[in-house]
Amino acid sequence: MTTSGDLALIDTWKTKRLSAAEEAAPGVFRTVAEYFAGVGLVRLGLERAGWKVIFANDFSPQKFEMYQDYYPDASDHYLIEDILNLNTNDVPLTLLATSSFPCIDLSLAGNLNGIHGEHSSAFWGFIHILKDQASLSPILVLVENVPGWLSSNQGDDFRLTVKALNDLGYACDAFVLDARRFTPQSRLRVFLVGVKQPLLKMIRDLIDHRSPSLTTKRLQSAVDQNFDLNWLKLPIPEPPPLIKSGLLEQIIESIPASDQRWWSHEKVDHHLDMMVPSHRARVEELSKGRSWAYRTFYRRMRDGQQRAEVRQDDTAGCLRTAVGGSSRQFLIAAGFEQVRLRNMTSREYARLQGVPDDYPINVEENQALTGFGDAVCVPAITWIARNVLNPLVDVLIANVCQETDNYQANQ
């Protein structure tokens, strides 16, 4: 039963937020503030599902440079600023706020410094803005990060982020989704959806089942250990199946054998020597084929020496920023008694993230590799928008209109 107080809140939300949305984007209801926007791949994924980004923020001029090459309206809404220094008055009212906050302090690469580390602490800037917006903060939030978020600092970091959203009135649902359900890239990510009043009361009856494909033992343990927090479980459908094989070759750029991007024989032999016997045998077996086969590999330090570690399947490993030799992903092309090696290109990185080829790459290679490697998988975001966010908005629209009409009719 919706009370008059609830309706007053709905009415405030409806008149102020919707009027602001209409002013910023006429005819568009599904408005978004995109924090840690990077090169705009969250925007790309959401727009395919009918959303409109009317505000974006990131502190990196290099990522903005790529963003504006694809989005001509970038200068109208994208602020290059540390989120901790943002003025809340510069942020328009929106239906949704997204936060792909820096993951480095939640991983081994950042020495597990945690949510208060130098980079990942930017999450608190996001919370500060939501707090300042008070009753007019977005009714929905979408937060994304690496699986290490669940266990860093013995799980305290995940608890702190969920509790911070709870304290602002958001009940939270957590699930995992792998990019390998959409592109040939192994990229598991944790997503947190926060739902705020008045929408929360409208969807309580929907909370029921969950596909086991959307959780892991670590995620379930993190939720179970924090049973006292304000959780909800949305009825999210079964995601697409994991891609088994065959798609990696479709994202590979056609580069002639004479191109200098292919490594010299000496460099190829050196990297073959860096492989443990089982990995080298894997490559040599592929070289006997009568067609080209593709694999990816990383350089890793193992037992005090550098190794070239080759994936068993034709799926790329998780893309990373192009900082340091161990962060770069390399390509193997084997067949016809030949083995060729080279760096993966930025266009290949973009394709692994589901980015169309009309996204221009006009910056130097390392800058582009970092921009795409530090981003999200576009079709994964679209799937979440269509199967998680849009159904919630449909409920909101139906209930707000019905309850408001009923209230006015009884006056």
pLDDT in tens, 119-143: 457 888 899 999 999 989 999 999 9
CATH number of the domain encompassing residue 11: 3.40.50.150
Instruction: Work out the widest C-alpha separation in the chain, in whole angstroms.
Output: 84
Check whether residue 275 and residue 387 sit in a common domain.
no
Dist CA 407 CA 411 (whole Å) = 7
The answer to whether residue 103 scores a pLDDT higher than 90 is: no
Check whether residue 292 and residue 405 sit in a common domain.
no
Residues 6+ apart with CB under 8 A from 283: 272, 275, 295, 310, 332, 334, 339
Answer yes or no: is 306 within a domain: yes
Mean pLDDT of 47-64: 96
Task: Give the pLDDT band (50/70/90) at residue 174.
Answer: very high
Answer yes or no: is 246 within a domain: no
Residue that the structure tokens 């460099």 belong to: 267
The answer to whether residue 333 scores a pLDDT higher than 80 is: yes
Mean pLDDT of 230-241: 92
Mean per-residue pLDDT over the chain, rounded: 87
Check whether residue 166 and residue 97 sit in a common domain.
yes
Residue 206: per-residue pLDDT:
62
Check whether residue 258 and residue 380 sit in a common domain.
no
Check whether residue 60 and residue 112 sit in a common domain.
yes
Residue 2: per-residue pLDDT:
43
Dist CA 53 CA 41 (whole Å) = 11
Check whether residue 325 and residue 209 sit in a common domain.
no
Answer yes or no: is 350 within a domain: no
Instruction: Pick the closest to residue 322 from 62, 106, 57, 64 (CA basis).
Output: 62
The number of distinct structural domains making up the chain is 2
Check whether residue 228 and residue 265 sit in a common domain.
no
pTM (predicted TM-score): 0.89
List the end-to-end C-alpha distance of the chain, in Å, as a whole number: 17
Instruction: Pick the closest to residue 174 from 186, 166, 182 (CA basis).
Output: 166
The residue from 304, 325, 344 where one domain ends is 344
Task: Give the pLDDT band (50/70/90) at residue 109.
Answer: very low
The answer to whether residue 152 scores a pLDDT higher than 90 is: no
Residue 123 domain boundaries: 4-240+373-409
For the chain, what percentages of helix, strand and coil (3-state, to nearest 5) are there?
Answer: 45, 20, 35
Residue 208: per-residue pLDDT:
61
Mean pLDDT of 77-105: 88
